[in-house]
Amino acid sequence: MRLRCAVLDDFQQVATEVADWSPVAGEVETVSFAEHFGTEDELAAALADFDIVVTLRERVAFPASLFARLPRLKLLVASGMRNTVIDYAAAEAHGVTVCGTASTSTPPVELTWALLLGLARGLVTENDALRSGGPWQQTVGADLHGRHLGILGLGKIGSRVAHVGLAFGMHVSAWSQNLTKEYADEVGVRLAASKEELLAGSDFVSIHLALSDRTRGLIGPAELALLKPTAHLVNTSRAAIVDQDALLAALHEGRIAGAAVDVFDVEPLPADHPLRTAPRLLATPHLGYVSRANYETYYGQAVEDIRAFLDGTPVRRLG
């Protein structure tokens, strides 16, 4: 009797296309789910008959209560090698092996610039107008060359975003709680004296911080009030870093020129969520990690993880 493997949140139904699952096909039946299970009850019901689960990034939490409801589960594979929504102690207590995969920072870097450029040049507005017989040239684009780019978080993603900004001829500064002048100098950017200075002096602000107790709500009403009326904010990191109500208020009141976001407090975003109709907003459905190369890595290494587990020699273990 073959084991059963569930692939969660396979919205595009490509998990079994971008990777070769033949190494485990004889022993594992794979079922992908295009719909998102938003509650623990839905997850427990859907996964009750599965021995293996493949989950994308941190989209689905696996707390102790869920592990307790999945007695058949033996292997959990999460894309990436860092996951803060899995209770590793509970997984071990229930005999569940947790493994990860490699991931690359290239796709979120590229999407960050797609959003920033689209926002600066009004691409969605102009495209919609052109295709619907609307006005010819109704926006005046914001220049990048010579403008100030402020980066919150200068890690793997933030530093690469900085290099692109420098290539555009922008003045780039960065800040985070632990950022040193030595590392900022190494990347080639200026270390801002404070978060407040960075926000007040930037024409574009891009967020690249991990979500933690220190960064949750880091950009609230007071911080948004520091931005210039002509400034643009880009968030491809985590929604909770920015106070969502404060951001909505700033957009509706026109206190900033615009924002671009790829992350939300609830995902998938409900149909009636206020961000769907907010003015001055360019939004994408969490596409930061969604690229063919990344998917080939995620699912290809998920197959490797499953094969190794079946052989009794798990690899890339997490926890």
CA distance 223 to 221: 6
List of E strands, the chain: 3-7, 28-32, 52-55, 75-78, 97-99, 148-152, 171-175, 190-191, 204-207, 232-235, 258-261, 281-283
Concerning whether 253 is annotated as a catalytic residue, the answer is no
Contact in structure between 51 and 5 (CB atoms under 8 Å): yes
Rg over alpha carbons for the chain, rounded to the nearest Å, is 22
Q: Enumerate the β-bridge partners of residue 317.
A: 99
Pairwise CA distance, residues 247 & 240, whole Å = 11
Q: Is 110 a catalytic residue?
A: no
C-alpha to C-alpha distances, 83 to 59, 76, 86, 105, 319, nearest whole angstrom: 10, 12, 6, 15, 9
User: Choosing from 147, 190, 208, 238, which is the catalytic residue?
Assistant: 238
Catalytic residue among 17, 58, 110, 267: 267
Quick one: how many helices (H) and strands (E) in the chain?
12, 12
| 304 has catalytic annotation | no
| Residues noted as catalytic | 238, 267, 286
